[in-house]
């Protein structure tokens, strides 16, 4: 039968109020790959991430990660198995420090009980130290952008681009092997976008992550992708190299059909 993929969706469907949003979607990502998911607004891209991370349960189909069907598992289980994501609308704690934001993301993974943490029992103290170190390590990945004095700055004070970087650091905090990035370049200027393209490459080479990224900026998509998958109305309409997908008639049509305000 089929060889076991690192990550795959098989015939996954989801509808809301009778409207089909993801329609028998099949796709895979190999270990170490960087794959982009593109498509016009409303194509169902974020819903795919919500299905994969357990926010929604698919009506049918399988979501397989390292040989296991994770469809319908609760979000924390899926995180534990090694999938983490960023959100299109950032989920930062703006009144917490940069480092605390990453630590908070890591906390779900520690073994201390609430009682131990509240009373700062030895195991909780040790874990807090370990988590602080882990947060520093993840933040170091972003170089001077999130280094030094920035660790103690409130997230509120960060530029928009740095908030997007911090969102990625938070996803890294759970030590995933598969990173799902939802529009990481949104709101970035061209220089920041260029830097992000490099960063995503480093997530693979230095970080060892496999990456599935939703992105609208075609410079980014071209710069990072081993493969591109295009969705429209929840259906896969094209898949292949950037050049193949960008020139595909159905893809061009899907984007032209949705042009205009909004
Ligand atoms: N929780 C929900 N309830 C109802 N409709 C939803 C929900 N989530 C997404 N949708 C709808 O599903 C479609 C796809 O949305 P989404 O996955 O966010 O698209 P994309 O990320 O490609 O822009 C949209 O029409 C959106 O309104
Ligand atoms: Mg979206």
Please indicate, yes or no, if residue 200 is contained in any of the structural domains.
no
* Pair (34, 7) in one structural domain: yes
Q: How many domains does the structure of the chain reveal?
A: 2
Q: In sequence order, what DSSP letters do the residues of 97-145 get, joined into one string? A: BHHHHHHHHHHTT----HHHHHTT-HHHHHHHHHHHHHHHHHHHTTGGG
pLDDT digits (tens, 9 = 90+) for 168-179: 999 999 999 999
User: What residues make up the domain containing 44?
Assistant: 1-82+180-187+208-262
Do residues 67 and 110 both lie within one domain? no
Verify that 97 and 149 share a domain, yes or no: yes
Nearest CA to ligand 1 atom 27: 42
**Ligand 1, atom 25: closest residue by C-alpha:** 42
Helices 122-140, 160-172: axis angle to 10 degrees equals 130
Question: Which of 175, 197, 232 delimits the end of a domain?
Answer: 175
Query: Does any domain span residue 63?
Result: yes
198 belongs to a structural domain? no
Q: Evaluate whether residue 234 is within a structural domain.
A: yes
Residue 154, phi then psi, degrees to nearest 5: -65, 140
Q: Is residue 120, in this structure, part of any structural domain at all?
A: yes
40-49, 108-117, 165-174, 178-187: which has the minimum mean pLDDT? 108-117
The reply to whether 201 falls in a domain is no
pLDDT tier, 262 (very low <50, low <70, confident <90, very high otherwise):
very low
For the stretch 111-142, pLDDT in tens is: 556 566 666 777 778 888 899 999 999 999 99
Neighbour tally for 208: CB within 10 Å: 10
Instruction: Give the model's pLDDT for residue 110.
Output: 59
Average pLDDT over residues 61-85: 96
Residues 2, 75: one domain? yes
Is residue 40 lining ligand 1, measured as CB closer than 6 Å? no
Q: What is the value of pTM for the model shown?
A: 0.93
């Amino acid at each position: 039968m089929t060889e076991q993929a690192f990550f795959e969706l098989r015939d996954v469907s989801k509808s809301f109020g009778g409207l089909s949003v993801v329609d028998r979607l099949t796709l895979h990502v190999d270990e170490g790959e960087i794959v982009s998911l593109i498509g016009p607004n409303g194509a169902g891209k974020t819903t795919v991430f919500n299905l994969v991370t357990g926010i929604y349960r698919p009506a049918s189909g399988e979501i397989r990660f390292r040989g296991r069907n994770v469809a319908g598992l609760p979000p924390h289980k899926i995180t534990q198995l090694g999938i983490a994501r960023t959100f299109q609308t950032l989920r930062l704690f703006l009144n917490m420090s940069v480092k605390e934001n990453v630590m908070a993301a890591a906390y779900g993974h520690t073994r201390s009980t609430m009682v131990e943490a509240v009373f700062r029992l030895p195991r909780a103290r040790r874990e807090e130290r370990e988590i602080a170190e882990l947060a520093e390590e993840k933040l170091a990945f972003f170089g001077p952008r999130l280094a030094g004095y920035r660790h103690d700055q409130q997230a509120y004070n960060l530029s928009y681009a740095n908030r997007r970087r911090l969102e990625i650091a938070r996803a890294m905090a759970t030590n995933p092997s598969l990173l799902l990035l939802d529009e990481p370049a949104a709101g970035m200027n061209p220089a920041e976008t260029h830097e992000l393209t490099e960063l995503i490459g480093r997530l693979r080479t230095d970080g060892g992550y496999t990456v599935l990224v939703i992105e609208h900026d075609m410079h980014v998509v071209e710069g990072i992708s081993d493969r591109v998958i295009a969705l429209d109305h929840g259906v896969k309409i094209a898949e292949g190299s950037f050049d193949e997908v960008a020139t595909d008639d159905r893809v061009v049509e899907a984007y032209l059909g949705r042009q205009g305000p909004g």
